[in-house]
Structure formats: C-alpha cells, structure tokens
Structure 1
C-alpha cells in the first residue's frame, strides 16, 4: 500500500512540475514584468517612445521593444505569433480577424486609443503655406500647375501614403512628381533644405511645442494651414482642439491590435495607453485622447 502511495505521489509530482513548466512557457511575462516586442507604425514614434518610457519607469521589470516600420509591414505582423501588439492607423478587417483566429488560435482585439492628424509642412522660405484639400489633391496626383514637390515617408506601405490614397485621391495613384523620403525624419530634413517642397507626416513629430527637439524642427520647417471643414471657413493648423472638433481635414485613428492568449505585458501596456495616465500622455503630445473625455467649454471674460 505504501508503495502505491509513493508511486502516486511521484506521478503527481511529475504532472505538477510539467504543468508549472508549461505554464511558464505560456505565460513568460506579466503586466508589470518581462519583455514585449511590439510592431509600431513609424508615424507614431515620438509619442510611443514617450509612452514606453513612462511605462518602463512605472514598472522597472518591464521592457518594451518597439520595432518601427511602415504600416503595411505592421499589418503583415497580424499573422506573426511572436508579435502580440501592433500599433497602426487601422485595426483588422473581418477577413483578417478570421485569419488571425485560425492561424494563431487567438481572438484578437482592437482599441482606438487616440486621434492623430497628418500635418503638412513647408520650408520657412516658401511663398505659400495655405492650402485647400483640392490644392493638395492636385499636387500629390501630379496635376498641379504650381512648382511644388510633394514629399512622403515612402511611396508605398506607409500609413501617410495610404491616408492620401484613400481619403484625398480616393483610389487614384500618386503622381510621378512625388518624392519618397526614408522616414518622417527624412521628410523634415528634405523640406528643410528644399524651398518648394511640401511634406506630409504625422503631427506627433511636430505638434508637441513643449518638446525641445520638436521646437528645433519647427525652426527648420513651417506647419501649413489647411482649409477648415466647418462652415465658418478659414485655414487651420493641426492643433489638438481642431482634431477634436474635426475642423482640420486630415484626421486618422491610432489603433492598438492586441493578440495575446493570456493577461501579460501586451495587455498591461494597452490598458496603460487607455488609462488616465496614458491618455494624458497622448494629450501632452498634442494628439486627441480617444478614451478619456477632454471637455471643451464655452467661457466668457468679464
């Protein structure tokens, strides 16, 4: 009888240790510790760097490694098992959701955490910094009679290019006059040295006037004003309130795609981005927070 008990305890011990090993393999991190690789649209590098810095300061045992890429490469990571979090300007389609579920055996989730604007920049010596949407449509399609050079962070695969193709050109191709820089930084550098260049990039690269680096960029380039979408008319800059009111015409979402089988570091970071602190960081970076309310109230000076 004692022999049977010993055998039973031995079997129980082996099963328990195997279970612990499997559990560790399935849960290599927690919300506050471990290593997480994320795939992130390069347009959002400044604001996401700030979010990661604060999160790692709050949880010293957590390490988040962001791989900044053109958006199409981020979308390709929908089916990469090792990438549990993707930050881009769109979530998954129903077809993509099914593919993720079938291939990775995980139910993906998507969260819009902020709203961003595509900024238009010009050289400080440029003769014109006021544009209508139609002006820019003609420019990027190659049909403008103005001697201007449109500059993007790539000719394909980036979220800025996709936005212009979908929302401005409505499916028509970019013109042969379009110049491709290697990155958003490259757009700033090109416009800074080219008097007749017109650049397109995410506002998180230039919108934070409290950031010394971004202030230095604004000495090299100038933000252009676009024709407002509201009935009052006028030309507006991509500032936070006008993103909120959608008076600025070029607005897009910042979306997190989460595909984690357990509550680990990816869940923890997404929850942080949606929390008061994460939303405040978006607000301080001059994007508009999508989760926490940012009230606009009428005031009267007496």
Structure 2
C-alpha cells in the first residue's frame, strides 16, 4: 500500500516526550535499555551484517535490535526506552540542549558513507539525471508523468530529501511513500513509469525475498550540474571516496549510555578495523578505510 505524503505529517511528537524524559536506570520489556539498539530501518542491510559478525565473535554481543523510522528512533530515546541509536544524522542543537538538561552524555561515531540511489525499471529509457532536475522533481517545479516513490515518511531518507530539495513537504500527487526500501525496489521492478529513491546498500547483495526485484531495476547516473566540469556518476566506493557522486549521507552510531557496556563495545567494533572491513565488503564507503599490508619478497636468482 502506498500513501500520499501530503496527508502524512511527521509531526513533533518528540517535543512532548522531552518533558517526560527522566535520566534513570530502568528496563524496557525486561531488557536493560542500554542493551536496546534502535536502528533507522533504511540502514538495515549493513547493520545486520555488522551485528551478525559481532554476535559471532562475542558471546555477550547480542543486543535487542529494533528497526524503526528515524523519527521513531529519536522518540524512543527521549521516551527513555533506548540508549543506542544508529541513523544517518547527529542530534540537532535543540535535541542536544534537552540532553544536556537531563545530564545525558553522548558519544558519536561515524562509521560509513552511504549513497542515495535513484532507480528505474529495466524497461525505462531513463539512464541519467542532474541534481537540479532531482530538486525540481521533488519540489514540483517541473512536470512529470512519473511516480516518485520512497520509503516511510518518517525515515531519515525522507528527511534527507527534504533538506536536499529545500522543501518542508512533498505536496505533488505523483510523490508517494511506501513502507520500506524493500517495497520501493519491488514497486519499481513492476512499474516501468516509476522512479524509486532508496539507500544504496539495499541494492548490494539483496536478500532472496527481493533479489529478483533488484535484477529488474537499474540505477540512474547523477551529475552535479553546479560544477562546470560535472560528469554523470553511478554510486560506488570509488565515486564516494573521490566525492564525485553528489547524493551521499554519513551513517552514525550514537551512544547515550554514559558508561562502558554493549553500546560502547559495538561502537568500537563497527568503527574498528574489522567493522570497517565489513563496510568495505558491502559496497559502501568505510569512514576509516582499512589499510592493506603487502609483503614483498625479493627472490635472489643464482
């Protein structure tokens, strides 16, 4: 099912939650809140990989993981239901002010650079688009008969697109929100007249339940036409590392526990060498690119 974004408002529910937020030790459904990780669901593919390896290496490395839209994740923090968030933004100045008033400390680690990918059906003739064309498409400043679809209206991806296009709401009738990035891929795979916007990690090594859909879509090359010598680029580790692909976002782990524990340990893991190599293998760009040791053996010919 798809919903028009103009009838869905993200709201400011977290403001009401601020007032009731108390800094105290408690459990949520019997689980220590410091062991509850709330993850923006658009980050699920890469975080799943990290958690799988982390859990295999450390017997106590099994947090309770909740995947939710970005707005919901922040709401859970201020409702005192979780103390570790993984999402594509840091806290705002207003949020930090509230945290400070509650004596809640924060440690932030950036662990990867993700790309926002535009996808179309394999039958589509669209292969390229410029940054200015994307902005006009999102703000309604250009006419198009194509359906534009992306994930949950409360997600970090939608927030990114609003900031990117400079608009507070998407009011066009041809812009729709689905429920997840997976649904975006599946929708575009069966609708030749659709343009999907999704996280790049959903297109690399997909799960079997939507692998066939990924094979029926293609990624559109994007050009930053604000640069005189701009070229069209597909998202890749190379274009991300060289800052050529224009639609990027940083991924963060935010730890509010204020103590050593599962949150701190996982943050150290995901930002460390092993965690960064998992990012590298996934196709995203590690925040701290792991080095490679090369042994050169000189053979003496007699």
Instruction: Please give the TM-score of this superposition, normalised by the length of structure 2.
Output: 0.79
> In 1, distance between residues paired with 2:238 and 2:291?
9
Pair 1:152 & 2:154 matched: no
> In 2, distance between residues paired with 1:212 and 1:238?
23
Name the counterpart of 1:124: 122
Name the counterpart of 1:91: 90
Map 1:24-173; keep pairs closer than 5 Å: 36-103=35-102, 105-154=103-152, 156-167=153-164, 169-173=165-169
Name the counterpart of 2:11: none
> What CA RMSD, in Å, does the superposition of the two structures yield over aligned residues?
2.6
User: 1:208, 1:214 within 8 Å by CA — same for their partners in 2?
Assistant: no
Q: Which structure is larger by alpha-carbon Rg, 1 or 2?
A: 1
Pair 1:176 & 2:154 matched: no
Pair 1:237 & 2:263 matched: no
User: 2:39, 2:68 within 8 Å by CA — same for their partners in 1?
Assistant: yes
Pair 1:264 & 2:245 matched: no
1:185-207 deviation line (CA, Å, top 9, x unaligned): 11011101110100011111013
User: 1:140, 1:177 within 8 Å by CA — same for their partners in 2?
Assistant: no
Aligned residue-pair number: 262
With over 3 angstroms needed to count, the CA separation of the structure-2 counterparts of 1:196 and 1:164, relative to structure 1, is same
> In 1, distance between residues paired with 2:273 and 2:79?
30
Pair 1:254 & 2:244 matched: no
Name the counterpart of 1:7: none
Name the counterpart of 1:222: 218
With over 3 angstroms needed to count, the CA separation of the structure-2 counterparts of 1:272 and 1:214, relative to structure 1, is farther
With over 3 angstroms needed to count, the CA separation of the structure-2 counterparts of 1:280 and 1:231, relative to structure 1, is farther
User: 1:208, 1:284 within 8 Å by CA — same for their partners in 2?
Assistant: no
Q: CA deviation at 1:232?
A: 4.1
Return 5+ residue gaps in structure 2 as ranges: 1-23, 28-32, 293-302
1:152-200 deviation line (CA, Å, top 9, x unaligned): 103x321111111101x21353123201111101101110111010001
With over 3 angstroms needed to count, the CA separation of the structure-2 counterparts of 1:94 and 1:36, relative to structure 1, is same
Pair 1:280 & 2:277 matched: yes
> In 2, distance between residues paired with 1:214 and 1:228?
31
User: 1:206, 1:214 within 8 Å by CA — same for their partners in 2?
Assistant: no
Name the counterpart of 1:22: none
With over 3 angstroms needed to count, the CA separation of the structure-2 counterparts of 1:40 and 1:126, relative to structure 1, is same
The range that moved more, 46-55 or 35-44, is 35-44
The range that moved more, 178-187 or 62-71, is 62-71
Give the secondary structure class of the aligned counterpart of 1:63. coil
> In 1, distance between residues paired with 2:161 and 2:66?
24
> In 2, distance between residues paired with 1:271 and 1:220?
38
Q: CA deviation at 1:212?
A: 6.9
Q: CA deviation at 1:117?
A: 0.7
Instruction: Please give the TM-score of this superposition, normalised by the length of structure 1.
Output: 0.79
> In 1, distance between residues paired with 2:26 and 2:156?
32
> In 1, distance between residues paired with 2:272 and 2:287?
11
